[in-house]
Structure 1
Amino acid sequence: MLFDDTLDLELSTPIKLAELEYSVLKLSEPTAEQLMAHEKVAGAMAALAMLIHLNAKVPMKVVSQMKQRDLARAADFFAHFNETSPGSATSSPN
Structure 2
Amino acid sequence: GMSSADFDARFVEKSEDGPLMIMNAIPCHFLENNACSIYEHRFAGCREFPALHLPEVNKRLFTIFMHYDRCPIIFNVMESLKVEMGFDASTMQCNL
Q: TM-score interval w.r.t. the shorter chain?
A: under 0.3
TM-score by length of 2: 0.27
Which protein has the bigger strand share?
1
TM-score by length of 1: 0.27
